[in-house]
């Protein structure tokens, strides 16, 4: 199967002309071969509109053909990308910055969090992940360094000499976030988190499924998983919009009542 987006499924649909953020990531799958299962990477991307709405941009069978991926996005209508996040697919993120010269790179704190917490025991991983996310969101330097050092001390498989690497990278990510205006910084963190949730969903689904008979079967499985996730995000947006309308209506009712008095 070629590197272009899957033409005969929903992932090959026309796209919007512009996206505020595009996140590039990969999913790891095991495909059964004659000599046993072999790992394959499948590339995928998530786009965010200015109103924060997210949609899957595509699923690519050969994530090493980055120029073809960008050509596919152009062919399907994408003319502008404002910010690019590398969530585990650095070559595609780099190619996107070249294909869309006005785009700027945005940091992925979630990719860093996954790397730092991966060696931790499962019972500690959730709490440490929450601490790191909160520290990045609050832009607190001391809190961030404390969270990173605590995570790396808890990682039994990580050598002591490796500790400064995580700390230095955390400081670089924090510095990159600080260059963004407040609204853009919060948008980047939210988009990165949304992509991370999808990555986790894909990883769990792939783990439950086990190996695939061929790459086409793996791609179809991932496409269906992403489609379900996209429908869920749509339902969540609709529910949030409904709650917002109810809150506004209640506030207007209270205001009208106070004026009447």
**Any domain includes 2:** no
pLDDT of 245 reads 72
- If phi > 0 it is left, if psi is from -120 to 50 it is alpha, else beta; for residue 22 that is beta
Q: Which residue has the higher pLDDT, 56 or 4?
A: 56
8 A C-beta contact, residue 116 and residue 152: yes
- If phi > 0 it is left, if psi is from -120 to 50 it is alpha, else beta; for residue 115 that is alpha
Domain count of the chain?
A: 1
**Any domain includes 50:** yes
Q: Which residues contact 65 (CB under 8 A, 6 or more apart)?
A: 3
**Any domain includes 4:** no
Give the residue numbers spanning the domain of 34: 10-254
**Any domain includes 87:** yes
Phi/psi of residue 194, each to 5°?
-60, -45
pLDDT tens digits for 141-163?
A: 677 777 777 776 766 444 444 44
pLDDT of 159 reads 44
Q: Is 187 exposed, middle or buried (0-12, 13-18, 19+ CB in 10 A)?
A: buried
**Any domain includes 3:** no
**Any domain includes 95:** yes
pLDDT tens digits for 15-41?
A: 999 999 999 999 999 888 777 778 888
* pTM across the whole model: 0.80
**Any domain includes 117:** yes
């Amino acid at each position: 199967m070629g590197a272009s987006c899957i033409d005969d499924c929903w992932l090959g649909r026309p796209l919007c002309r512009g996206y505020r953020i595009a996140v590039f990531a990969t999913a790891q799958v095991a495909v059964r071969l004659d000599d046993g299962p072999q790992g394959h990477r499948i590339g995928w991307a998530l786009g965010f509109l200015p109103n924060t709405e997210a949609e899957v941009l595509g699923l690519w069978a050969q994530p090493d053909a980055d120029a073809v991926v960008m050509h596919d996005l152009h062919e399907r209508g994408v003319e502008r990308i404002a910010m690019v996040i590398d969530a585990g697919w650095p070559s595609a993120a780099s190619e996107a910055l070249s294909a869309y010269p006005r785009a700027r790179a945005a940091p992925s704190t979630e990719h860093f969090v996954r790397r730092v917490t991966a060696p931790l025991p499962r019972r500690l991983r959730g709490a440490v992940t929450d601490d790191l996310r909160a520290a990045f969101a609050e832009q607190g330097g001391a809190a961030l360094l404390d969270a990173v050092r605590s995570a790396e001390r808890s990682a039994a498989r990580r050598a002591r000499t490796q500790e400064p690497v995580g700390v230095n990278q955390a400081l670089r990510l924090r510095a990159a976030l600080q260059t963004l205006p407040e609204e853009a910084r919060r948008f980047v963190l939210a988009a990165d988190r949304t992509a991370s949730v999808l990555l986790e969903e894909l990883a769990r689904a792939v783990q439950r499924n086990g190996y695939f008979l061929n790459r086409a079967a793996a791609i179809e499985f991932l496409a269906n998983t992403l489609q379900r996730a996209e429908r869920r995000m749509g339902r969540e947006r609709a529910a949030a919009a409904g709650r917002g309308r109810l809150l506004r209506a209640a506030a207007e009712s209270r205001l009208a009542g106070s004026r009447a008095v």
